């Protein structure tokens, strides 16, 4: 059985996807193939890895994994629930004009969305740099492998590493697969999708959970005292609606949830497919992966997509999703 490690070259349309291929042969034999003259490349989504377009030259085996030119691993602050008493969003109810309210909502939320996505972009850039090293035939250093483990833990992939021995951890094929699995998760969430869900879940920033809990996304939590108790909670349910120290923390928590929770595997696959097609992920498309976000299922998805179209939210994606 032969698998192919696909090297997706960012969003660049000037460089063909067949510039490089790394053929991974069963029994852990790795062969680098310079494929400039080839016309086709097989695709295996399981181990897809992205490399920035500027790396579309034949890699040099002389690359040093400790080179100061390589980006340092980026580890953002933890995302956690918190006390909402210190920071509260503005009063969007004071806007009598709907257009003014919406514009104020955008102005308030978009910088937070941009910041959350930039965190993810920095994490992804480091993973891409590690992928460049592997393509050049350079194994990762001990510190880089430790940093990779931290990223896996942050994105809920560390449990899949349980029981692996040290030799397996340092195997280049294994490392490539680990980075490939992470690349599928460590990616931006389109601003259009975030704004649409925040507007829908919070009533454009006016809901009780938004104003008292800094929660614009209706995110639940499951231990006593972790949030606000819904006034109309179904009998027998014990969940609360999470509170956050700030709306910014709520945005970061939402992005991390989309990128890690098993319920959004389909959304992440749609996003990865768009990447491989050299396309920017449209929020309206990715909304199809939100079937499990609400018990209303497809009806909820259609409403989110309608909000994106009706409010032309896609205009925010390029600027605030990178």
Residue 296 belongs to a domain with what CATH number? Answer: 1.10.530.10
Residue 32 DSSP code? E
More confident residue, 97 or 6: 97
- Is the pLDDT confidence value at 148 over 90? yes
Q: Is residue 267 part of a domain?
A: yes
How many domains is the chain partitioned into structurally?
1
Q: Is residue 65 within 8 Å of residue 133, measured between CB atoms?
A: yes
- Is the pLDDT confidence value at 253 over 60? yes
Q: Is residue 311 part of a domain?
A: yes
Q: Is residue 48 part of a domain?
A: no
DSSP alpha helices (H): ranges in 92-223?
Answer: 98-135, 142-154, 166-170, 172-183, 191-202, 208-213
pLDDT computed for residue 103 by the predictor: 97
SS3 per residue for 73-100: CCCCCCCCCCCCCCCCCCCHHHCCCHHH
The domain of 253 spans 92-118+188-320
Candidate from 93-107, 139-153, 221-235 with smallest mean pLDDT:
221-235
Q: Is residue 148 part of a domain?
A: no
CA 65 to mean position of chain CA atoms: 26
More confident residue, 35 or 60: 60
Candidate from 100-109, 177-186, 219-228, 229-238 with smallest mean pLDDT:
229-238
- Is the pLDDT confidence value at 179 over 60? yes
More confident residue, 130 or 223: 130
The 10s digit of each residue's pLDDT in 2-45 is 333 433 434 332 222 223 233 332 333 333 322 333 333 232 33
Pull the structure tokens for residue 264. Answer: 């959004």
- Is the pLDDT confidence value at 53 over 80? no
The pLDDT confidence band at residue 234, using thresholds 50, 70 and 90, is confident
- Is the pLDDT confidence value at 198 over 80? yes
CA 184 to mean position of chain CA atoms: 8
The 10s digit of each residue's pLDDT in 267-297 is 999 999 998 887 777 899 999 999 999 999 9
Q: Is residue 196 within 8 Å of residue 312, measured between CB atoms?
A: no
Candidate from 27-31, 74-78, 97-101, 152-156 with smallest mean pLDDT:
27-31
Residue 12 DSSP code? -
- Is the pLDDT confidence value at 240 over 70? yes
Q: Is residue 242 within 8 Å of residue 84, measured between CB atoms?
A: no
Q: Is residue 56 part of a domain?
A: no
Q: Measure CA of the first residue to CA of the last residue in the chain; give whole Å.
A: 37
The pLDDT confidence band at residue 161, using thresholds 50, 70 and 90, is low
Mean per-residue pLDDT, 144-168:
79
227 by DSSP, 3-state: which?
Answer: strand
Neighbours of 234 (CB within 10 A): 8
Does the predicted TM-score (pTM) go above 0.85?
A: no
Smallest CA-to-CA distance from 320 within 139, 189, 199 is with 189
Mean per-residue pLDDT, 207-227:
91
């Amino acid at each position: 059985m032969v698998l192919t490690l696909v090297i997706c070259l960012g969003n660049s349309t000037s460089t063909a996807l067949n510039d490089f291929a790394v053929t991974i042969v069963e029994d852990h034999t790795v062969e680098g193939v310079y494929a400039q003259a080839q016309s086709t490349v097989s695709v295996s989504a399981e181990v897809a890895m992205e490399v920035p377009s500027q790396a579309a030259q034949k890699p040099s085996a002389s690359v040093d994994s400790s080179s100061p030119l390589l980006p340092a691993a980026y580890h953002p602050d933890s995302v956690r629930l918190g006390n909402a008493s210190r920071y509260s969003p503005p009063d969007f109810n004071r806007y009598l004009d709907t257009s003014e309210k919406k514009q104020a909502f955008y102005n308030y939320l978009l910088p937070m969305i941009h910041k959350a996505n930039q965190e993810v972009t920095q994490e992804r850039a480091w993973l891409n740099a590690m992928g460049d090293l592997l393509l050049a035939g350079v194994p990762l250093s001990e510190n880089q492998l430790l940093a990779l483990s931290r990223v896996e833990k942050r994105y809920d992939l560390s449990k899949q590493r349980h029981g692996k021995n040290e030799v397996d951890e340092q195997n280049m094929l294994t490392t490539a697969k680990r980075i490939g699995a992470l690349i599928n998760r460590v990616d931006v969430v389109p601003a259009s999708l975030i704004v649409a869900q925040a507007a829908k879940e919070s009533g454009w920033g006016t809901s009780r959970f938004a104003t008292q809990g800094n929660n614009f996304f209706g995110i639940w939590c499951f231990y006593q005292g972790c949030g606000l108790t819904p006034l109309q909670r179904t009998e027998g349910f014990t969940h609360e609606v999470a509170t956050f120290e700030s709306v910014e923390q709520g945005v970061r928590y939402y992005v991390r949830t989309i990128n890690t929770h098993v319920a959004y595997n389909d959304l992440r696959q749609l996003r990865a497919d768009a990447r491989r097609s050299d396309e920017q992920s449209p929020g309206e498309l990715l909304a199809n992966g939100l079937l499990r976000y609400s018990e209303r299922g497809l009806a909820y998805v259609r409403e989110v997509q309608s909000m994106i179209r009706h409010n032309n939210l896609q205009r925010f994606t390029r600027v605030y999703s990178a």
